[in-house]
């Protein structure tokens, strides 16, 4: 389907719950994800992905 997704960090779940009326439904936000089709005008869409190894992030002692 060629749909892209991007999870978002740092959102305030309680505010999302209030805005969307999730509290009244007994629900709460756990994750926010942007979904959509990539723009044909996106010049960076064919750039290589940057992935770092876990060794770059964690120090095991």
Q: Which of 2-6, 8-12, 16-20, 25-29 has the lowest mean pLDDT?
A: 2-6
pTM of the model: 0.56
In a domain, 58, yes or no: no
CA 22 – CA 29 distance, rounded (Å): 8
In a domain, 46, yes or no: no
In a domain, 29, yes or no: yes
Residue 55: its pLDDT value, please?
Answer: 83
CA 37 – CA 3 distance, rounded (Å): 5
Mean pLDDT of 32-59: 85
Domain span at residue 35 reads 1-39
In a domain, 53, yes or no: no
Domains held by the chain: number: 1
Q: Specify whether the CB–CB gap between 17 and 23 falls below 8 A.
A: yes
In a domain, 22, yes or no: yes
In a domain, 44, yes or no: no
Cα angle for residues 6, 11, 16 (degrees, 5° grid): 105
Residue 56: its pLDDT value, please?
Answer: 82
In a domain, 35, yes or no: yes
């Amino acid at each position: 389907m060629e749909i892209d997704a991007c999870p978002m960090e740092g959102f305030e779940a309680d505010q999302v719950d209030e805005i969307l009326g999730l509290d009244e439904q007994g629900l709460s936000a756990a994750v926010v994800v942007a979904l959509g089709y990539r723009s044909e005008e996106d010049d960076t869409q064919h750039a290589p992905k940057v992935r770092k190894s876990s060794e770059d992030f964690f120090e095991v002692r």
